Structure 1
Amino acid sequence: MNEKKKLQVWLPLLFAVIMIVGMVLGYKLRENTQTARSIFQFNTKRSPLQEVLDLVMLKYVDKVDTDTLGNDAIQDMLAKLDPHSNFIPAEHLTELNEDLQGNFQGIGIEFQIFKDTVNVMNVVPGGPSEKAGLLVGDKFLKVGDSVVTGRISAEGIKKLLRGPGGSTVTTTILRGTKTMNVTIERGIIPLPSLEAAYMAVPGTGFMRISKFSETTYEEFMSALEKLKAAGMQSLVLDLRGNGGGILGEAIDMADEFLDGDKLIVYTEGNNTPRQEYRARRKGLYEKGKLVLLMDEQSASASEVLAGALQDWDRATIVGHRSFGKGLVQEQYELSDGSALRLTVARYYTPSGRSIQKPYDKGLDAYDNDILDRYQHGELVNADSNKVVNGKAYKTNAGKTVYGGGGIMPDYFISADTSTLAIPFSALYRNNTLSNFSYLYYVSHSDQINRYKDATAFRDNFNWSETDWTGFINLAARDSVDLKGLPPHEKTFLQDRLKGLLARYRWRNDGYYQVMNVKDEVVEKALELAK
């Protein structure tokens, strides 16, 4: 009984103590939480920009789409910062992210409509349509219950074929004279960044990479192992036209070429402390000759890889001066589903050079830089192929390199301007080249399949005069007159048609095996790789 009385006396006091301690801890936790939040929260005071948008929405004489108006205002603001900070509206974000992810959802074909019939122009390797057995040359008759012969638009057929991953679509196709029912399960479509990997000559491999996506390093390693198993001792790595992408993929690739803990690249910005990226593991190709191909469209992550290999004297660079993009962007998701890609740092090669070209003359001047290079003769004249007023640096072996405007090649190869008289824009705008090569492939597939590989096709196939006349007639229907072309221009077009024809049978490996034979940059690279 005494024990119960003692408990009754002390219990309220105990609760009071617990309550006071809880209040103190809660206050401290709230204080710390508010301090932490203040780092990430923006000032709640409304900016003049928001006030103006609100007034336009409330008071303007006509109806205005304030979302579009706001997006344009954001873009104009970012244009004052640098050429690569960018606002991405929500409706465009998925498409842009797919390219970096290396895949998207669909059935995995390219198609073209000829004479009111949907033709399969390409089947993506590893995609749902390939797994279902679709082939180049197949023609769609029905998709589901809908007949797709006759007047159907490209958008119409896309709507019928698209759907969520895992769902199925039943199709009726015509293959030659045989009608077939094919069920395709929609799924992930790979978007490979490795366009080609093959042995160019005994002992020397060729590899072409078009971008740096989330799957690039994995694709590169698989191809590298394949080429080494085939006896590769020298490698030609083609990064022409590669506009960059995910920096980490380029860093991982550089690690395969560099030994020890060599510095690959470092980044630094006003609000971003210096961060170094070094070789971390034993690479698969630390020895052996390496030749890197670049041009004025090679940018960003491509230049990181090239800059590291050049500064450590690991690779020989062949081609033209690269684009000159040395700014690092980070992507921030916004509350409405849009995103901001904001420049947060510059990257620097191991020698300390920033290769970002100037952008102080405005966005138009920056965008026209490549055209200016052509007009000033840089693409055809080695003496003008240099960084103007660029700061000099030294590679590990003491070779002089320059910052401030791209990666300079060790060997300059002049661009071929002899074919500029050909009306290329009209041929490509009307798909004349791809249409002719596809129609030829469909009607001559038995003949083309007799070649055991792309090399045999490259060395033995030639267009007849009848074939050439057929191409001239097709171009004429697209209002392009190709009669009386000079011999070198005729050869130029025939080579491209041959390459496209090889692509239908042997995909991109076949295309580049045909096209690289007369590519002066590749020829020089193979010479240096011996």
Structure 2
Amino acid sequence: MSKSKILFPFILGAAIAAGIFIGGKLDFADTSDRLFSSNSKKDKLNRLIDYIDYEYVEDVNTDSIVDVTVNGILNNLDPHSVYIPKENMQEVADNMKGNFVGIGINFYTFKDTITVIKTVENGPSAKVGIKGGDRIVSANGESLLGGGYNNDTLVDKLRGERYSKLKLKVFRKGSPELLTFNVTRDVVPIKSIDASYMLTNNLGYIKVNRFAESTYQEFKTALDKLKRLGATSLALDLRGNPGGFLEIAVAIVDEFLEDDKLIVYTRNKKGKEDRSYATTKGDFEKGHVYVMIDENSASASEIIAGALQDNDKGTIVGRRSYGKGLVQREMNLGDGSAVRLTVSKYYTPTGRSIQRSYENGNRDYYDDYADRLNRGELLDENKIEVADSLKFTTPKGKVVYGGGGIIPDVFVPYDTQMQNETLTFLERRGFLDNFVFEELEKDRNKFNDISRQEFFENFTVTDSVIKSLEDFLKLKTRSNIVFVAYKNEVKHYLKATLAEQLYGYGAYYKILNKHDIMIDKVISLSQVQSN
């Protein structure tokens, strides 16, 4: 497949989220005299908005003008200083906290009915017996039939205050009458760890999708479990991880580094530095760690990779990371909205800044991926551009570079078969999830007696299912998508998606990783390491 067929994976929303985020928030109301003393520039903006509000010939929503103004100002600073409108604050907060209050289901609007794809393990719905395939007919006496609600509205109806009750009427195939479930809303975790299991007898695997408040505890639980299973080496998968809390990344690195090793430091515009060092609590200091990164691994992911690389600990495997070395702090704007403002830069232990340049503006900054693609960097490590002026040396003499991401110790090219444009699009847009759900709905009972392990080892997706997928996509996308060149890859994705809906946590990646060339490389490296 040609290079031009590789999917452009840098989505603006993900890039915005790719900031290292300092946990504390600033409420400027407490220091308004100091920070917001009157001056002509601020008066000019206030006066203009007042003129428009009171004198303009037509009614104008001045709130929207303010939003545009705030975004315009931030766009002239750096690519990662962003405005969060009031209506988005709760979702952003939930994502960073690592949980939300709800009933714990993933659902799909199927034939105008809310249909449960799966319940969250140990969540409120799972505890009362709701299952995948159940149709929610009403909530607290209000009918949810007919398709008159969008997904956001449905989510609002199902969420609510913690410990509040929700009476659900549910249709389940095979039951002659509607079932009644009284669900108590509670905290539902948004898992940061997608999978953790043993790749070989002594090589454990943990995939981290972001760094939220709950991530370290999830990671520690997974690491302890793998150690009990015999893990003496670890594959830490940070591919596609856009970042999160700096202190969570530091806590994870601390598990691998010896006491007093420098992990990272930040520096603000006044030159003040804050340094983070490893402590005595590390539980995997003797084990070898392989950190897997790619072009979408950003900020906190890069802190981990950079800290280990600069301390000559472990092996960094994959492709050059995103290149995000700015630190944001969330600041309240007083009306429920907030701004995440870049307040400092971070540096790896050798003194590297891995932030790529944004001096030519945001458009040029986000076009960097296209530049890497055109150079062939994702397929050939010799095409990675480095600057000799940004050369650094680790304590053991290894040369590393700053100025635009972490360059791995072992390069693994982009897999143009498993990560081709069409497949990745279908997976990200939810088409594979929805198709698998509808296939399951035809006869869920046939999987009742198939164990998780038996499914992993023996289940195969047939050619007839591929044909059904092509028909499904023709109906949903109004285009003819035919899987000829990569039929086996499609089967693999479908099996992984089916496993996730049937067996839950970790099943998707345990199957998908069977055909992952970077996983294969790590296994090969670990076998050499142990010999």
TM-score range, shorter chain: 0.7 to 0.9
Correspondence 1:74 to 2:78: no
Cα separation, partners in 2 of 1:513 and 1:181, compared to 1, 3 Å: same
Query: Which residue of structure 2 lines up, in the alignment, with residue 99 of structure 1?
Result: 95
d(CA) in 1 for partners of 2:69 and 2:134? 48
Query: Which residue of structure 2 lines up, in the alignment, with residue 239 of structure 1?
Result: 238
Give the 3-state SS of the residue equivalent to 1:119 in structure 2.
strand
Provide Cα deviations, 1:418-440, integer angstroms capped at 9, x if missing partner. Answer: 47876457745874311221123
d(CA) in 2 for partners of 1:380 and 1:138? 45
Provide Cα deviations, 1:344-388, integer angstroms capped at 9, x if missing partner. Answer: 111000001000000001010111212221222111122113435
Query: Which residue of structure 2 lines up, in the alignment, with residue 284 of structure 1?
Result: 283
Q: 2:108 aligns with which of 69, 94, 112?
A: 112
Asked if the contact 2:417/2:489 (under 8 Å) is kept, the reply is no
Give the 3-state SS of the residue equivalent to 1:201 in structure 2.
coil
Query: Which residue of structure 1 lines up, in the alignment, with residue 302 of structure 2?
Result: 303
Give the 3-state SS of the residue equivalent to 1:275 in structure 2.
strand
Asked if the contact 1:294/1:319 (under 8 Å) is kept, the reply is yes
Provide Cα deviations, 1:144-189, integer angstroms capped at 9, x if missing partner. Answer: 2233333443345334323222211111212331142111111212
Larger CA Rg, structure 1 vs 2: 1
Give the 3-state SS of the residue equivalent to 1:71 in structure 2.
helix
d(CA) in 1 for partners of 2:81 and 2:429? 34
Correspondence 1:217 to 2:213: no
Asked if the contact 1:235/1:529 (under 8 Å) is kept, the reply is no
Provide Cα deviations, 1:267-286, integer angstroms capped at 9, x if missing partner. Answer: 00113611110012231100
Cα separation, partners in 2 of 1:79 and 1:390, compared to 1, 3 Å: farther
d(CA) in 1 for partners of 2:60 and 2:182? 47
Q: 1:43 aligns with which of 19, 33, 37?
A: 37
- Give me the identity figure in percent: 37
d(CA) in 2 for partners of 1:389 and 1:87? 36
Correspondence 1:130 to 2:126: yes
Query: Which residue of structure 2 lines up, in the alignment, with residue 474 of structure 1?
Result: 472
Alignment of 1:351-500 (within 5 A): 351-388=350-387, 391-418=390-417, 423-424=422-423, 427-428=426-427, 431-454=430-453, 456-478=454-476, 479-483=478-482, 485-486=483-484, 488-500=485-497
Query: Which residue of structure 2 lines up, in the alignment, with residue 18 of structure 1?
Result: none
Query: Which residue of structure 1 lines up, in the alignment, with residue 80 of structure 2?
Result: 84
d(CA) in 2 for partners of 1:37 and 1:358? 33
d(CA) in 2 for partners of 1:94 and 1:38? 25
d(CA) in 1 for partners of 2:414 and 2:186? 41
Moved segments of 4+, more than 6 Å = 36-39, 419-422
d(CA) in 1 for partners of 2:57 and 2:147? 44
d(CA) in 2 for partners of 1:240 and 1:420? 13
Give the 3-state SS of the residue equivalent to 1:417 in structure 2.
coil
Query: Which residue of structure 2 lines up, in the alignment, with residue 345 of structure 1?
Result: 344
d(CA) in 2 for partners of 1:95 and 1:440? 31
Provide Cα deviations, 1:45-71, integer angstroms capped at 9, x if missing partner. Answer: 352222222222233222222221122
Asked if the contact 2:196/2:506 (under 8 Å) is kept, the reply is yes
Amino acid corresponding to residue 315 of structure 1 in structure 2: G
Q: What number of residue pairs does the alignment pair up?
A: 492
Cα separation, partners in 2 of 1:272 and 1:132, compared to 1, 3 Å: farther
Query: Which residue of structure 1 lines up, in the alignment, with residue 150 of structure 2?
Result: 154
d(CA) in 2 for partners of 1:207 and 1:68? 43
d(CA) in 2 for partners of 1:465 and 1:131? 37
d(CA) in 2 for partners of 1:525 and 1:327? 30
The answer for unaligned runs of 5 or more in structure 1 is: 1-35
Correspondence 1:511 to 2:508: yes
Asked if the contact 2:325/2:355 (under 8 Å) is kept, the reply is yes
- Cα deviation, residue 448, structure 1: 3.1
d(CA) in 1 for partners of 2:343 and 2:352? 17
Query: Which residue of structure 2 lines up, in the alignment, with residue 293 of structure 1?
Result: 292
Give the 3-state SS of the residue equivalent to 1:82 in structure 2.
coil
The answer for unaligned runs of 5 or more in structure 2 is: 1-29
d(CA) in 1 for partners of 2:346 and 2:420? 40
Amino acid corresponding to residue 444 of structure 2 in structure 1: S
Correspondence 1:169 to 2:160: no
d(CA) in 2 for partners of 1:489 and 1:273? 53
d(CA) in 2 for partners of 1:185 and 1:389? 60
d(CA) in 2 for partners of 1:148 and 1:282? 51
d(CA) in 1 for partners of 2:284 and 2:418? 38
TM-score of the pair, normalised by structure 1: 0.88
Amino acid corresponding to residue 60 of structure 2 in structure 1: V
- Cα deviation, residue 143, structure 1: 2.2
Query: Which residue of structure 1 lines up, in the alignment, with residue 523 of structure 2?
Result: 526
Give the 3-state SS of the residue equivalent to 2:171 in structure 1.
strand
Amino acid corresponding to residue 158 of structure 2 in structure 1: L
Give the 3-state SS of the residue equivalent to 1:257 in structure 2.
coil
Asked if the contact 1:328/1:343 (under 8 Å) is kept, the reply is yes
Cα separation, partners in 2 of 1:520 and 1:144, compared to 1, 3 Å: same
d(CA) in 2 for partners of 1:389 and 1:438? 52
Asked if the contact 2:324/2:356 (under 8 Å) is kept, the reply is yes
d(CA) in 1 for partners of 2:299 and 2:166? 40
Provide Cα deviations, 1:103-136, integer angstroms capped at 9, x if missing partner. Answer: 1121111111222232101212232112222111
Cα separation, partners in 2 of 1:233 and 1:451, compared to 1, 3 Å: farther
TM-score of the pair, normalised by structure 2: 0.88
Asked if the contact 1:271/1:344 (under 8 Å) is kept, the reply is no
Give the 3-state SS of the residue equivalent to 2:248 in structure 1.
helix
Provide Cα deviations, 1:289-326, integer angstroms capped at 9, x if missing partner. Answer: 21010011110111111100011111211111000110
Query: Which residue of structure 2 lines up, in the alignment, with residue 336 of structure 1?
Result: 335
- Cα deviation, residue 467, structure 1: 2.3
Cα separation, partners in 2 of 1:390 and 1:317, compared to 1, 3 Å: farther
Amino acid corresponding to residue 469 of structure 2 in structure 1: F
Cα separation, partners in 2 of 1:255 and 1:430, compared to 1, 3 Å: closer
d(CA) in 1 for partners of 2:495 and 2:230? 28
Greater RCO (Cα-Cα under 8 Å, separation 6 or more): 2
Cα separation, partners in 2 of 1:147 and 1:58, compared to 1, 3 Å: closer
d(CA) in 1 for partners of 2:172 and 2:271? 58
- Cα deviation, residue 494, structure 1: 1.0
Asked if the contact 2:138/2:169 (under 8 Å) is kept, the reply is yes
Give the 3-state SS of the residue equivalent to 2:255 in structure 1.
helix
Amino acid corresponding to residue 37 of structure 2 in structure 1: N
d(CA) in 2 for partners of 1:419 and 1:225? 31
d(CA) in 1 for partners of 2:32 and 2:141? 58
Give the 3-state SS of the residue equivalent to 2:487 in structure 1.
helix
- Cα deviation, residue 83, structure 1: 1.0
